[in-house]
Amino acid sequence: MRLLFRKKTAQGGHAVRHSPQRVSGCKCRLGVRILAVFALAVLTLSLVPLTAAAANKPLEIYFVDVEGGQSTLFVTPAGQSLLIDTGWNYNAYRDAIRITKAAKLAGIKKIDYVLITHYHQDHVGGVPQLIAKFPVGTFIDHGPNREETAAMNHQYEEYQKAIAGKNHIVVKPGDQLPIKGMDAVVVSADGNIIEQPLPGAGQQNANCEGVTEKASDASENARSVGTVITFGNLRIVDLGDLTWNKELQLMCPVNKVGHADLLVVSHHGLDQSNSPALVHALQPRVAIFDNGAKKGASPSAWDIVKSSPGLQDIWQLHFADAGGSEHNAQDPFIANINEADTGYYLKVTAREDGSFDVFNPRNKFSKEYPAK
Ligand SMILES: [Zn+2]
Ligand SMILES: [Zn+2]
């Protein structure tokens, strides 16, 4: 796009600069003027479609398969990128390689922001290997680790070591992420929830009725950084591994989030998360599970998502072994159907009018979801 623009500008400039040498007298000035007007017209005509094309560029989202962890790459029309979580810390760079592959498909040379939802191994573990494989800008997280076990403290230390000297932002509910080209607001972090509803939200939530709290969760899951992304008319909700009771704080008695077109199903679709008070009130049109073959997409949570009002489709990174045919999406909507896979991703291409499509590279199946 930029190359094309430069080329056309240069051609326009060329015509104006050299025309006086070929003509003389008063006709010369007229000739120059005609050529100048012509050049301006060419320049203007070349700029109009380019500007329109830039404004219509989509938001691309890659759901990287990290086998039951999370790693979701957003690339905005402004060319900036946000990676939510980095997958695991073993398997010889497996997850870093898969993230790098997605980044290259998206045409970026650097990941501008890496948001770590919380410090479990399947989210933060991949940071050192990712840094070794691909340029990364600023890290975003909720502050210190709150799950004081030896394993978790070690995990957090490894992360701290890896990001030493790099840009680092600690976020709290209500903060806007600094990324250009989409609006991303934090709704949960470090166990805290936004105090006021997001603009347009705040309605009484009838889906809270009959939903009771579960045993309290002292783990890092409840500390997850949750983000609501708005891109034109499209809304995307990603709450990391936020668990049930925090969902109720966010959604009951009033829904502080509003609706979602696309839901990144919380906690890989485990039943410690995904209360009907959350899922049914968000009314997602499409839900994507970042599950593994043997992790996530619990049948009861899958049923809650499936029965959500207005839901059109569930997409999954893996066929969930525990679910059988009753609790899995149809084959075309699943990126990886057995463990011999090579880590197929799912890609969402979203437009500002609220339309989007989801693409499965395993079978080249894609489906368009029109603007509402
Ligand atoms: Zn997780
Ligand atoms: Zn977790």
Q: What is the DSSP string of 315-353?
A: EEEE--TTTTGGGS--GGGEEE-STT-----EEEEE-TT
- Report the distance separating Cα 159 and Cα 39, nearest Å: 56
Evaluate if residue 2 carries a pLDDT over 80: no
Query: Is the model's pLDDT at 102 over the cut of 70?
Result: yes
**161-175, 194-208, 338-352: least confidently modelled range:** 338-352
Summarize the confidence of residues 110-134 as an average pLDDT: 98
pLDDT value at position 165? Answer: 96
Q: Is 356 helix (H, G, I), strand (E, B) or coil?
A: strand
- Only one residue has tokens 């043997």, namely 294
- Return the ligand number nearest the Cα of 290: 1
Distance 147 CA to ligand 1 centre (A): 14
Mean pLDDT of 42-66: 69
Mean pLDDT lowest among 15-24, 134-143, 172-181: 15-24
What pLDDT score does 18 carry?
33
Bridge partners (DSSP) listed for residue 63? 72, 346
The type of residue at 292 is G
- Considering every ligand atom shown, identify the ligand nearest to the alpha carbon of residue 243 and give its number: 2
CATH superfamily, domain at 58-369: Ribonuclease Z/Hydroxyacylglutathione hydrolase-like (3.60.15.10)
- Which ligand does the CA of 69 lie closest to? 1
Locate 208 and state its tokens: 């809270």
Buried b (16+ CB within 10 A) or exposed e, 219-242: bbbbbbbbbbbbbbebbbbbbbbb
Distance from residue 296's CA to the centre of ligand 1 (Å): 9
pLDDT in tens, 201-241: 999 999 999 999 999 999 999 999 999 999 999 999 999 99
Banded pLDDT at 3 (limits 50, 70, 90)? very low
Burial class of 295 by CB neighbour count within 10 A (0 to 12, 13 to 18, 19+)? buried
- The domain segmentation of the chain, as residue ranges, is 2-54, 58-369
Phi, psi of 5 (to 5 degrees): -60, -45
Q: Quick check: bond before 309 cis, omega within 30? A: no
Ligand index nearest the alpha carbon of residue 223: 2
Yes or no: say if 119 and 156 are a contact pair by the CB < 8 Å rule: yes
Give the per-residue pLDDT at 55: 64
Return the structure tokens found at 134.
């691909």
Confidence category of residue 33, pLDDT binned at 50, 70, 90 = low
Q: Is 224 helix (H, G, I), strand (E, B) or coil?
A: coil
286 touches 279 (CB < 8 A): no
CA 244 to centroid of ligand 1, rounded, Å: 14
Ligand 2: centre distance to CA 59 (Å): 27
Helix axes 25-55, 2-18, angle to 10 degrees: 170
Q: Does the pLDDT of residue 31 top 70, yes or no?
A: no
CA 267 to ligand 1 centroid distance, Å:
5
Nearest ligand atom owner, CA of 145:
2
Percent of the chain exceeding pLDDT 90 equals 83
pTM (2 d.p.): 0.86
62 C-alpha to ligand 1 centroid (Å): 17
Helix (H) or strand (E) segment spanning residue 55: helix 25-55
Identify the CA nearest to 266 among candidates 237, 295, 304, 286. 237
Q: Give the tens place of pLDDT for each residue, 179-206.
A: 999 999 999 999 999 999 999 999 999 9
Nearest-angstrom CA–CA distance, 205 and 202: 9
Check if the beta carbon of residue 160 is closer than 8 Å to that of residue 176.
Answer: no
> CB of 38 within 8 A of CB of 15?
yes
Residue 90 or 163, more confident: 163
Cα–Cα distance, 142 to 157 (Å, whole number)? 15
pLDDT in tens, 267-322: 999 999 999 999 999 999 999 999 999 999 999 999 999 999 999 999 999 999 99
**Ligand with an atom nearest the CA of residue 88:** 1
For residue 46, pLDDT over 50 is answered with no
Provide the token pair at 49.
């479609």
Q: Cα-atom radius of gyration of the chain, to the nearest Å? A: 24
Distance 6 CA to ligand 2 centre (A): 48
